[in-house]
């Protein structure tokens, strides 16, 4: 996975990276879910640090066939199937109310402030600094490496690719609203708040898988265009649009229990399909293609595997957090408020912590757990300090 991460939002301020606003502002279940997924992003990148397959600033352990690294790769593969799509779903869910509350011009300025500024700051400052920090593991002086990167005009998207993508989606939503207002002269009847049928959900998974397969013919997984891995964007677009549609009637507040359970079963039954295909690839010539993209069965399996895993997991998580959290404790409130900041600052913090004890002999799994926990705690504390600044608090 290439420098992805996920971004988060503040649950108590005006919308940011999917943050709640207006009538949806008190949806504490989704606030808690977003914050939890933020911490999962930190562990995801920690797993890549210690041997999982994927792109990241610093690799202490190269991906391999050892059981520990294969387990971390499977952990990341499952995450990649659903967690960024979940962020886009939540972002879309709060977009219509934010647009309606602000109006087009103010909404555009707010998006530029809360998405554009962090994206540019990370790209020109924190990203290169993290790259230079990682180079110290090879004996390169930090300041010298950083100066070279800056002199070369290096821009490192890192996890802030999400802010870039959401900025694009936000302006696409604005364009759609503007076009709709010109084409539709009479108000339409409010859409039914009924939850989509199993047929609609299943068709959306099939369409998403087909679209992902087609996109990866041009942009295989791992290939970037404009700083974005477009091979993953089929599900991101579908889920962002689904979130926008779900905002009408607040459809994420009470997902049907029967459908949620059914699609969770689909996800759990689908999960072992991909590792099974990988395991038998050496013995089945027809499966020996590049799963990252191309006209081959492996690429098709991976493309369709993702949405059929994602839909059920996302539905189950949304329903579980909505039912579990009716109010937030002080710790949860602090975490949800700091989530977006944690997301932005975690790359240099994670790399620094990993470097601090890289010479200590320990298995990758132990380092994964210890470094992941330490990174979460350190980012939580640093984010709290940063948000004491009124200027930063307006953005973060």
Query: Does a structural domain hold residue 103?
Result: no
- CB burial of residue 327 (10 Å; 0-12, 13-18, 19+): exposed
- Banded model confidence at residue 195, pLDDT cuts 50, 70, 90: confident
**What's the mean pLDDT in 254-276?**
94
**What's the mean pLDDT in 231-258?**
92
Closest alpha carbon to 82 in 48, 33, 20, 116:
33
Q: What confidence score (pLDDT) does residue 92 get? A: 96
- CB burial of residue 20 (10 Å; 0-12, 13-18, 19+): buried
pLDDT at 188 > cutoff 60: no
For residue 116 the two structure tokens come to 């554009």
- Banded model confidence at residue 190, pLDDT cuts 50, 70, 90: low
Which residues neighbour 152 within 8 Å (Cβ) at sequence distance 6 or greater?
none
Same domain, 309 and 359: no
Q: What confidence score (pLDDT) does residue 386 get? A: 97
Q: What confidence score (pLDDT) does residue 248 get? A: 85
Cα-Cα end-to-end distance for the chain: 26
Q: What confidence score (pLDDT) does residue 6 get? A: 38
Are 107 and 99 in contact, with CB atoms under 8 Å apart? yes
For residue 36 the two structure tokens come to 């939890």
**What's the mean pLDDT in 204-225?**
95
Query: Does a structural domain hold residue 280?
Result: yes
Q: What confidence score (pLDDT) does residue 189 get? A: 57
Are 63 and 138 in contact, with CB atoms under 8 Å apart? no
Closest alpha carbon to 372 in 2, 47, 84:
47
pLDDT at 219 > cutoff 90: yes
Query: Does a structural domain hold residue 105?
Result: no
Neighbours of 244 (CB within 10 A): 20
**What's the mean pLDDT in 120-140?**
97
pLDDT at 282 > cutoff 80: no
Q: What confidence score (pLDDT) does residue 91 get? A: 96
Which residues neighbour 266 within 8 Å (Cβ) at sequence distance 6 or greater?
308, 311, 312
Q: Which of the two residues, 84 and 293, has the higher pLDDT score?
A: 84
Q: What confidence score (pLDDT) does residue 17 get? A: 42
- Could you report the per-residue pLDDT of 8-47, keeping only the tens digit for each? 443 334 334 444 334 445 689 999 999 999 999 999 999 9
The residue out of 269, 303, 325 marking a domain boundary is 325
Are 191 and 125 in contact, with CB atoms under 8 Å apart? no
Query: Does a structural domain hold residue 254?
Result: yes
pLDDT at 2 > cutoff 90: no
pLDDT at 326 > cutoff 80: yes
Closest alpha carbon to 18 in 7, 27, 26, 29:
7
| Total domain count, the chain | 2
The residue out of 325, 357, 380 marking a domain boundary is 325
**What's the mean pLDDT in 299-313?**
96
Neighbours of 283 (CB within 10 A): 8
Same domain, 220 and 130: no
d(CA 383, CA 156): 21
Same domain, 302 and 332: no
Same domain, 359 and 291: no
Same domain, 198 and 166: no
d(CA 27, CA 29): 6
CA 218 vs. chain centroid, Å, equals 22
Closest alpha carbon to 372 in 161, 76, 19, 86:
76
- Banded model confidence at residue 278, pLDDT cuts 50, 70, 90: confident
Query: Does a structural domain hold residue 369?
Result: yes
pLDDT at 224 > cutoff 80: yes
Q: What confidence score (pLDDT) does residue 110 get? A: 94
Same domain, 321 and 332: no
Are 41 and 84 in contact, with CB atoms under 8 Å apart? no
pLDDT at 302 > cutoff 70: yes
Same domain, 199 and 300: yes
Same domain, 282 and 338: no
Range of the domain at 344: 1-78+115-174+327-396
Closest alpha carbon to 3 in 183, 184, 134, 195:
134
**What's the mean pLDDT in 315-340?**
95
d(CA 162, CA 159): 6
Q: What confidence score (pLDDT) does residue 60 get? A: 95
Query: Does a structural domain hold residue 86?
Result: no
Same domain, 319 and 339: no
d(CA 24, CA 98): 9
The angle subtended at Cα 201 by Cα 195 and Cα 207, nearest 5°, is: 145
Same domain, 16 and 125: yes
Q: What confidence score (pLDDT) does residue 208 get? A: 97
- Could you report the per-residue pLDDT of 41-71, keeping only the tens digit for each? 999 999 999 999 888 999 999 888 788 888 9
pLDDT at 108 > cutoff 50: yes
pLDDT at 152 > cutoff 50: yes
d(CA 63, CA 77): 13
Same domain, 310 and 365: no
Query: Does a structural domain hold residue 94?
Result: no
Query: Does a structural domain hold residue 93?
Result: no
Neighbours of 55 (CB within 10 A): 15
How much of the chain, in percent, has pLDDT values that exceed 70? Answer: 91
Same domain, 8 and 140: yes
pTM of the model: 0.90
The residue out of 294, 325, 356 marking a domain boundary is 325
Beta bridge partners of 55: 2
Length of the chain: 396
Q: Give how far Cα 292 sits from Cα of 216, 296, 302, 306, Å.
A: 7, 10, 8, 12
């Amino acid at each position: 996975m290439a420098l992805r991460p996920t971004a988060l939002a503040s649950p108590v301020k005006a919308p940011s990276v999917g943050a709640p606003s207006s009538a949806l502002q008190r949806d504490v279940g989704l606030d808690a879910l977003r914050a939890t997924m933020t911490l999962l992003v930190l562990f995801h990148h920690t797993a890549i640090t210690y041997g999982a397959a994927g792109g990241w600033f610093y690799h202490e352990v190269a991906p391999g066939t050892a059981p520990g690294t294969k387990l971390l790769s499977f952990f990341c593969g499952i995450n990649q199937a659903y967690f960024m799509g979940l962020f886009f779903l939540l972002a879309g869910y709060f977009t219509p109310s934010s647009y309606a509350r602000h109006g087009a011009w103010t909404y555009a300025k707010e998006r530029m402030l809360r998405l554009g500024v962090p994206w540019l700051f990370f790209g020109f400052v924190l990203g290169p600094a993290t790259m230079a920090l990682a180079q110290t593991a090879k004996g390169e002086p930090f300041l010298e490496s950083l100066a070279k990167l800056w002199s070369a005009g290096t821009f490192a998207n890192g996890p802030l690719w999400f802010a870039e993508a959401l900025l694009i989606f936000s302006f696409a939503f604005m364009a759609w609203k503007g076009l709709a207002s010109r084409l539709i002269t009479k108000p339409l009847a409010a859409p039914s708040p009924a939850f989509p049928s199993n047929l609609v959900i299943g068709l959306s998974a099939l369409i998403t898988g087909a679209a992902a397969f087609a996109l990866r013919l041009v942009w295989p997984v791992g290939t970037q265009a404009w700083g974005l891995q477009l091979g993953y964007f089929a599900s991101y677009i579908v889920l962002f649009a689904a979130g926008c549609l779900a905002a009408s009637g607040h459809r994420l507040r009470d997902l049907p229990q029967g459908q949620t359970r059914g699609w969770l079963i689909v996800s759990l039954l689908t999960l072992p399909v991909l590792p099974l295909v990988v395991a038998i690839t050496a013995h089945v010539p027809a499966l020996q293609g590049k799963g990252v993209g191309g006209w081959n069965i492996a690429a098709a399996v991976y493309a369709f595997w993702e949405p059929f895993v994602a839909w059920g997991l996302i539905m189950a998580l949304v329903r579980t957090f909505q039912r579990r959290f009716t109010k937030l404790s002080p710790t949860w409130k602090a975490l949800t408020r700091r989530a977006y900041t944690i997301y932005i600052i975690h790359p240099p913090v994670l790399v620094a912590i990993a470097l601090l004890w890289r010479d200590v002999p320990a298995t990758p799994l132990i380092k994964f757990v210890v470094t992941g926990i330490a990174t979460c705690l350190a980012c939580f504390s640093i984010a709290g300090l940063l948000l004491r600044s009124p200027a930063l608090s307006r953005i973060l």
